[in-house]
Structure 1
Amino acid sequence: MPPIEVGPARAIGAINARLARKAGGETLSGANGVSTEKQAAPAVEKSPALDPGPAPVDTDRVQVIRKAVESGTYPVIPTQIADAMIAAGVLLRSGKQ
């Protein structure tokens, strides 16, 4: 396999504003008084089939836990935390959910 050539390394420094304008498709406002002009973004059609909907969060339970943590009464059991971390790692490696 042939070697991959990356090209010459450049010194780290400020970006070239002219290149940033070309890549971003807009002019940047700066000390020279250039105004910001954005180009219209291309329209993207979103499929409702890909919408995951709202996150399944039990807000009442979150409030109870938050109050317990703030008051210092939330039980922190290191062995249960470790077991859950190990189980999560096993699930990630096995691919079964």
Structure 2
Amino acid sequence: MPPIEIGHGGPHAPRAVGTADARPVTGRAVASDTARSHAAEQSAVVRSAALDPGAAPIDHERVAQIRKAIEDNRYPVLPMKVSDAMIAAGFLLRSGK
């Protein structure tokens, strides 16, 4: 079997191992950073307003009451209730209800 020669030069010589070039392959080269950023702006994903969930419905007054109760050691944390709620939430997420 003939020996394998690596790095002998020529058009089909293997390239050195290095970082990958992640630029998209196109028919023409982008000339400058400004042109590249302009091209990126044009190809940005447009999001539909219909899919925007909006702000989360948070009752800030209730949150403040619960925080105060926790600070004053008046908020009962029952491990069994917490674990039951976590298990129930997991079931709801899996069932899609």
Relative to the length of structure 2, the TM-score reads 0.51
**Runs of 4+ with deviation above 6 angstroms:** none
Matches within 5 A, 1:18-97: 19=20, 22-23=21-22, 39-40=36-37, 41=40, 42-93=43-94, 95-97=95-97
| 1:75 shift after superposition | 0.9
Paired residue total: 67
Percent of paired sites with the same residue: 52
Question: Any stretches of 5+ residues in structure 2 without a counterpart?
Answer: 1-17, 24-32
Q: Deviations over 1:28-54 (max 9, x none)?
A: xxxxxxxxx684233332211111111
> For the pair shown, which has the larger CA radius of gyration, 1 or 2?
2
Relative to the length of structure 1, the TM-score reads 0.51
| 1:57 shift after superposition | 1.1
Q: Deviations over 1:7-64 (max 9, x none)?
A: xxxxxxxxx6x65xx548xxxxxxxxxxxx6842333322111111111111111111
| Greater RCO (CA < 8 Å, at least 6 residues apart) | 1
Specify which structure has the higher proportion of strand.
1
Question: Any stretches of 5+ residues in structure 1 without a counterpart?
Answer: 1-15, 25-36
RMSD (Å) for aligned C-alpha atoms: 2.7
